[in-house]
Amino acid sequence: MKKKSLLPILLITAFIFTGCGGGGSKEQPVTGIYGRIVFETDATQETLLAASFQSFRPLAKAINAIKPTAMTPVVPREKVVTFRPGLSAAVRDALIRKVGGRLKKKIYGTEDTYVITVDENSFSTTDLENLAGIERIEDNPRCYPLRIPNDPFYETHQAWHYGMMDLPAAWDITTGSDEVIVAVIDSGIAPNHPEFAGRLVAGYDFVDGDDEPYDDTYIPNPLNPNSDIFSHGSMVAGIIGALTDNGAGVAGVAWKVKIMPIRVLGPSGSGDMANLASAITWAVKHGAHIINLSLGGTKSLSSVEDAIKNAVAHNVTVIAAAGNHFEGDESTGIKYPAKYDTCIAVGALGANRERASYSDYGQELDFVAPGGDGDNEYSYVASVGYNIKTKENIYVASTGTSLAAPHISGLAALLYAQGYTTPQRIYERLRAACLDLGSQGKDKYYGYGLPLATAALFDFTKFVVHLEAEDGTILSTPINAASNSTYSFRNLTPGPVRVCAWLDKNNNGQRDAGDLFGVINTTIRQNVMLEHNITVTTL
């Protein structure tokens, strides 16, 4: 099964000019470096990423610590060396210099373990290992914090489904913006749940015809008295944007987003498409940037399709659950409104990262996201809850494509906060960041695959390229270059130089942890434009 590479390799390609020309004339070449920044897939990175995801299992505490291998590269030009005990400082220094390195610092608390810097073009690990005074030599791996929220249910119940989408690493990039509004068109929300404190904007109730879209009316079902007593809308809204990192309850995908609650599903758990059409248009007119529709039916209504088209025309992204079916149910096709081309249709994955057995499928499916499978305690999706019967604010866990869709809506809100403000750009980022789980292309069971949040959010246009001396002194004005654009450094002084390139992940103008970085040592030659490839990995 072919996987899509999510970690690109950045190549700086330059060209050698010989100076030969036709017509008996010669154009003198310029001393310097000229190249183009391009992306290419890399099978090794792809394999590492795919293998790392095999470790995501429904054991929340274990998943909490997992970081994809391909996201934690080593420090360039550094090794960690342990010397044989008893060597003098002069002998240690001589051993390292013999193989083209130099001592940098001793690891605190050790007697014989040092960090060394090396010239990667000439350094040989084998040569160093063969020296009698060396006991061990290792790479110096990078480490950096993941933004893990302190909400207690995150660690015990949510890490599996947020980890599956690589959200902890994405939260290092952004936790969203309170200027982004997601409309949750559903059954309403819990009226006073602390997870929604300060997160709500004005909404509307199309069931009761008022401005109180609360899910607080209980009508018992005589066949199943305990059905429909939990607030479906509250669960959906909680996944998108529950109050997060506040030491209580659960976490949401977008930590700072605003929620616009709109009620179209009544106490029986159902509603009608006419109200849905009205609700979509109302959300657009009142400032929603993203609309989540964790509802659906088997019949189309032109007014709903028109309302969604209008939303998209006003740069509002509409995301809908693909629908659920059960064993023996033949109606496995994508439900409306998810089936419309203008909607982003989302299916569900279980904790094993395979399609959940209940998840509807078809060629209209765009993406999949965690929806849970209920195989054990840790394979449900946990979120905000409200017991409509007892009027209690609670936390609940369930399964369904209704819970998969808000994962994508939350990620869309993070993308919007990063400047991807149109449905087309959001869709493109989601698609580009997919881990392909099905057949190549758009698979009827998985769509384009599972969008990974870090890959979606990372802006691959913030290239910075400059030249450095061997001691780190910058020799040129940094050049800002987008993907596939060219760069050049001309009229340089011949001599040794380092070509450095990186992607400024947090846009602070500095090369620091989390940025993609690459360097190569070379020597500028008179009247020659050099050719080099440089691999860029995460600092």
**Of 157, 232, 289, 466, catalytic:** 232
DSSP letters, 77-96, are EEEEEEEPTT--HHHHHHHH
**Of 402, 436, 443, 466, catalytic:** 402
Active site residue 402: yes
Active site residue 232: yes
C-beta of residue 387 within 8 angstroms of C-beta of residue 229? yes
Q: How far apart are the first and last CA of the chain?
A: 30
> Which of 145, 65, 131 has its CA nearest to residue 95?
131
Active site residue 178: no
C-beta of residue 382 within 8 angstroms of C-beta of residue 395? yes
Round to whole Å and give the CA distance between 539 and 536.
9
List strands edge to edge, sheet with 344-349.
Answer: 204-205, 258-263, 181-186, 290-293, 317-321, 344-349, 367-370
**Of 186, 360, 443, 515, catalytic:** 186
Round to whole Å and give the CA distance between 452 and 429.
10
Place of tokens 């002069």: 90
Q: In this structure, what token pair is assigned to residue 413?
A: 């809100």
* Beta-carbon contacts of residue 109 (< 8 Å; ≥ 6 apart): none
For 149, phi and psi rounded to 5 degrees? -70, 155
DSSP letters, 205-241, are ETTTTBS--B------BTTBTTTT-B-HHHHHHHHHH
> Which of 240, 176, 250 has its CA nearest to residue 457?
176
Catalytic positions, written as ranges? 186, 232, 402
